[in-house]
Structure 1
C-alpha cells in the first residue's frame, strides 16, 4: 500500500519536479518514507539542507532556474518556524513554491506533544498566513488531493508565490490504493490573461502619438523581453530595467541606459525624465521602493506612465498612471508590434558586440574604480572584472548587503544570443532582502541545472549566518563558485549608518579567513587580497569543473557602494 506522501510526490512528478528540499524529523517522517520509495525507483528525491531556511531558499533557486514549482518541507515545531524567512522571501519576490510542514497527530492536538504547532499551541498556520498565497491545514485524508491541487494552482498563478500545506502525522501516513497515484493530476497552472481590446487600442494610440518613449522592464517582462527590444529598436525608444529586471537586456545594447531604482544609474533616471520621455511604459514591475527610486514623481510615478502587468497587485500602485493594463505583456506587445509592422513571430535577437570594459551609454558612479587594480580590492573593480571573465551562461546571484549594491550597479550583463526570452541569469532576492538568500538559492539553481556554472557573491556577515549550506553543494558535487566579500563588518549597515547620520554601532564582525573554513569542510578554496591575485586564479577552469569552490575576497571596506535613493528613504527626505 502507498501513503498520502506518495500521492503528493506523484502529483509533483507530473509537474516535472525532481527534488524536495528540507530537513527530516519525527512528524515529517512518513513523507520522507515516501521520498525514500521515490528515490529507489528513480523519482523525486530529497536534498537535505543544513537549516530549514536554507531549504526554502534552495526551493526558490530551483524554481527560478526551471520555471517549475519549488518544493520544501520541514517537521513540526522549530522546523516549521525556521522555514518562515525563506518562505517570506519567496512571497515577496513572487516565486512559486509548495511548502509542506508537519503537525503532530490530530488525536494529540492540545495535549502538549513534542514540537506541537497546532491551533492550541505554537500556531504555525497563523504564522504562514501573511507570507503565502494559500495556507491550510489538511485535517482529513480525503482533503489532501483537493487541497494539494488548489495549493499548486495558487502558487503558480498570476499572483504567484508560496502555498502552504500543514499536514498532521496521521494524515500523511494514511494508506491509499495503489491505483490512486497512477492517474494524472490537473492543477490549474495556465493563467495568462489577455489585455482588453480597449486597452490594446488605447495603448496603440498613445504609443503611436509619442515621439519619445522609454521602456522600463521589470521581472514580469521576461517572456516579452526579446519582443520589447525589437520594438524599441524599430522606434528608437530607450530602455531601462528595474533591479529585478536587470539581466533581461544586454548591458551593451545601444538603447539601454542601465538600472532605474535601488543602486541604479543616473543615466537611467535621465532616460525617464520628461525631457527624454513623453511616455514611460513600465512592464511587469510592482512599483515598490526599489523599482521607483523611492517613489520618484519626476521619473516613473507620473501621469506619463503606462503600466502593464498580468499581476493585478502590481497595478494597484499605479493610481497616477495615464493608462493601466491588466494582461500578459507578450500578448499586448504582439499587438503593438503587428500594428507597427514588426513580425512578432520571426524575431531574432540582435548580436551585441563591444570590446569596452564598460557600456558607453550607462553612467556609472566612480567609473575609474571599475578598472583600478591597485591596492585593496574595490567592489567596483571586482564586479567589472568578474562580469568580463565569467562565461555568458553563468548564473549570477548577489546576496543582500554590499554584494547586491555593487552587483546591481557594476555587473555588466552579456546576454547570449541563444538564451530563451524568459530566462534571466542575473538573480537578486530584493523583495524581502534576507541575508544569506543567495547562498541557499545558488544551491537550488545548481541542483536544477548541473551543467551550468553558478557564481554566488555574498558578504562575510551573510556567510557567517548561512555558510554551512556550502556543504550541501559539496555533498551534491555542484558547480558553485562562492565569493565572500570580506571586510570584517556588516558593510551595508555600516555605510548606511554613516551616510544617514546614525550612530556607528554593532557592525563589526570577527576577522575570519573563510578559505580556511572551507578547506576544513573539504571545499576547494582560495584567499585573495588584491586584483592581481584574483587575476592569477584560473576562474574559467574553476567554473568548468564540478564541485564547489570558495574564494575569500578581502575587499576595501572604505569604498562606499551605490545606495542611491535608499538613504533618502531612511532619513525621511523623500
Structure 2
C-alpha cells in the first residue's frame, strides 16, 4: 500500500522529475513524509525555499532548464497564497508546473481550523482559478489519480502552464493500492500535431518565390531551431527573435537582426519593414506587448504575417494574419525544407562581428557605453564583458526592471557548437514580470543544470524582496553567481518617471552593502566600485570554486536603459 503522497511521487518519477521545491508546514506534513521516504530510496527529494514564492520561481527555473515538469508545494492558508505570484508568472510564460497545496482535514472544513483555506473560509481554490490551466480540490483518495493525470495533461499540453491540486491533510495520508501508480501516461502528454495536407500546401504557396522574408523566432520555436536556421540560410531570409526567445540563436549569426519588441534592436525593426520583408513568418510567439513592441502596427502585426505555433493561445492574437497555422513547428519546417530547400542562396553561417568585437545588432546610440574601461560601472559594459568572458555554457537569467532591459539589448549570446539546439542559455520572466523572479528561478535552473555555471543578474530592489533565496543556493552548494546592480533605487521606475514626465517619487532605496549581507549569509562576495575592479575579477576562478558567489556592483545610475517601447505604452505616445 502507498499513501497518496507516495503515489504522487511515483507518477512524478515516471515523468523524470528530480526535485520538489517548497516550504514545510503542518497540513502538508504527510507529503513531506512521502518525500523523506523518497529521498531514502534515492528518488525525488525536496529543495527547501525560504519563501513559497521563491519555491514557485525555483520550479519555473527547473522546468525551463530541464524540459520537465516543475513541481512546488506549500501548506494550507498563507503557504498557498504565498505561491500565487510565482504561479501567475508561470501562467503568463506558459511554464509547465504542478502546484500542490494542502488543506486542513475535510471534517474540519468550516470550523475555523488553523490556516483553513477551504471553500468555507479563505478560499485558495478560487484564488488559483485565474492563473492555472487546471485547478481542483482532491476531496477523496479515489479522485487522486484521475485528477493528477488530468493536471499533468494540462500542464504539459499544447498550451502549457501551471496546474493546481489542493489536497486535504487526511486525504494526503490515506493509503491506496500500489497498482494505482501504474496507469499509462501516454494519453496525457502532448502529441505533436501536423497540419492537414491542404494547410501545408497553402503555406508552401504563400512562401514559394518569396525572396525577402523575415523569420521571427518566439519561445515556441526552439524545438525547430535547426530547421528554421537552415531554411533562413538556404533562402537568405533574415532572423529576428522576440525577447523571450533571445538565446535560441547566436547573436553573431550573419542573418540575425536582433530582438524585436521590449528593449529590442533597431536592426530588428528594420528587418520587419515592408521594403525588407514581403512576408513575416512568426513561429511560436505570444504576440503580446513584449513581443510586438507595444503592438506596433509597423512591425509584426500586418497583413504580411504568417503565424505558426503549437500553442492555440498564441494564434488567437493573429487576427490580422495572412495565414495562421496550429501545429508542431519542427514537423512543419521539416516539410517546408523539403518543398523550398532547393532554392539555395549564398548565405554564410559564419559568425558576424564588427571591428569593435560587438554583435552588429547593438544600436549605435548604445554602443559607446559598451566600451567603458574606467570610472563607474556602466551596465551595458558589464553585460558586454560578462557575456564574453563567462564560461560558454553559462545559463544567464535577468530579473525584472533594468536588469532585463540591459540583458535583452546587450547580452551577446554565444552558443557553443556542442549545445543541444533545444537548449536556451538566456532566460527572463517577462510575461507577469515579478521582481525577484530570477533569484528563485536561478536556483531552480542550477538544480537542473548539474554543475554548469549559472548567472543571475538582479537589481537591488529585487534583491531586497527575495535575496534570502541565496541561502538555498548555498545550502545546495550551487555553481551560481549572483550579480546585484546596485544604484540605490528602483531604477526602471526612476527612469520611467523621468522619461514620462511623471513625479519623481517612491523610487529611492537605502544604500546597502550587499556584499556584507552575503558574507553574513555565508556566501563569498565582492563589492565592485569601478570598471577597473570589474575587469580585475577572475570570473573563471569564481565559477570554478564550489558554492555560490555574489557581486555587489555599484552601477552608474544615470545610464538610461533601452525602454522606449515600454514608454510608448505607458504614456500613450507614438
Q: 1:360 deviation in Å?
A: 2.5
* 1:457, distance to aligned residue in structure 2 (A): 0.0
Q: Retained in 1: the 8 A contact 2:231–2:341?
A: no
For 1:299-318, list aligned pairs within 5 A: 299-318=299-318
**SS of equivalent to 1:254:** coil
State the Cα deviation string for residues 69-98 of structure 1 (Å, max 9, x = none).
000000000000000000000000000000
- Structure 1 distance, partners of 2:280, 2:168, is 51
Change (3 A) 1:182 1:330: closer
Structure 1 partner of 2:351? 352
Q: Could you tell me which residue of structure 1 aligns to residue 25 of structure 2?
A: 25
1:133-532 to structure 2, matched below 5 A, reads: 133-181=133-181, 185-186=185-186, 188-341=188-341, 350=349, 352=351, 354=353, 356-532=356-532
- Asked if the contact 1:257–1:362 (Cα under 8 Å) also holds between the matched residues in 2, the reply is no
Structure 1 spans left out of the alignment, 5+ residues: none
Residues 476-504 of structure 1 show CA distances to partners (whole Å, capped at 9, x for unaligned) of 00000000000000000000011111110
CA contact (8 A) 1:542 1:549 kept: yes
Deviation at 1:169?
0.5
| Contact map agreement 2:279 2:306 (CA 8 A) in 1 | yes
Q: Secondary structure at the match of 1:165?
A: strand
Cα distance in structure 2, aligned partners of 1:544 and 1:202: 53
Task: Report the Cα offset of residue 410 of structure 1.
Answer: 0.4
2:396 and 2:426 in contact (8 A); partners too: yes
SS in 2 for 1:281: strand
- TM-fit CA distance, 1:426: 0.2
Q: Secondary structure at the match of 1:365?
A: helix
Change (3 A) 1:188 1:528: same
Asked if 2 retains the 8 angstrom alpha-carbon contact of 1:195 and 1:331, the reply is no
User: So what's the TM-score if we normalise by structure 2?
Assistant: 0.97
Secondary structure, aligned partner of 1:457 = strand
For residues 524 and 337 of structure 1, what CA distance do their matches in structure 2 show? Answer: 51
Q: Give the conservation status (yes or no) of the 8 Å contact 2:145–2:180.
A: no
Deviations 1:502-521 (A, max 9, x none): 11000101000000000011
**Structure 2 partner of 1:117:** 117
Is the 8 Å Cα contact of residues 261 and 291 (structure 2) preserved in structure 1?
Answer: yes
Give distance in 1, aligned partners of 2:208 and 2:234: 12
Q: TM-score, normalised by structure 1?
A: 0.97
Cα offset, 1:185, TM superposition: 4.9
Question: Pairwise mapping of residues 531-550 of structure 1 onto structure 2 (< 5 A)?
Answer: 531-550=531-550
- Contact 1:149 / 1:186 at 8 angstroms: preserved in 2? no
| Larger mean Cα displacement after TM superposition, 224-233 or 517-526 | 224-233
Q: Distance in 2 between matches of 1:463 and 1:338?
A: 50
CA contact (8 A) 1:237 1:255 kept: yes
Q: RMSD over aligned Cα, in angstroms?
A: 1.6
Task: Give the Cα–Cα distance (whole angstroms) in 2 for the partners of residues 361 and 22 of structure 1.
Answer: 41
Q: Deviations over 1:171-193 (max 9, x none)?
A: 00101234544676556113321
Task: Give the secondary structure class of the aligned counterpart of 2:482.
Answer: strand
Pairwise CA distance, 1:272: 0.2
1:60 maps to 60
Matches of 1:540 and 1:554 in 2, distance apart? 21
1:354 CA drift (Å): 4.7
> Partner of 1:287: helix, strand, or coil?
coil
Asked if structure 2 preserves the Cα contact closer than 8 Å seen for 1:364 and 1:409, the reply is no
> Shift in Å at residue 544 of structure 1?
2.2
1:204 shift after superposition:
1.1
1:573 CA drift (Å): 1.8
Distance 1:13 1:543 in 2: 31
**2: distance between equivalents of 1:85 and 1:487?**
25
Number of corresponding residues: 570
For 1:535-574, list aligned pairs within 5 A.
Answer: 535-574=535-574
Q: How far has the Cα of 1:45 moved from its partner?
A: 0.7
The answer on whether the counterparts of 1:150 and 1:187 sit within 8 Å (CA) in structure 2 is no
Gaps of 5+ in 2: none
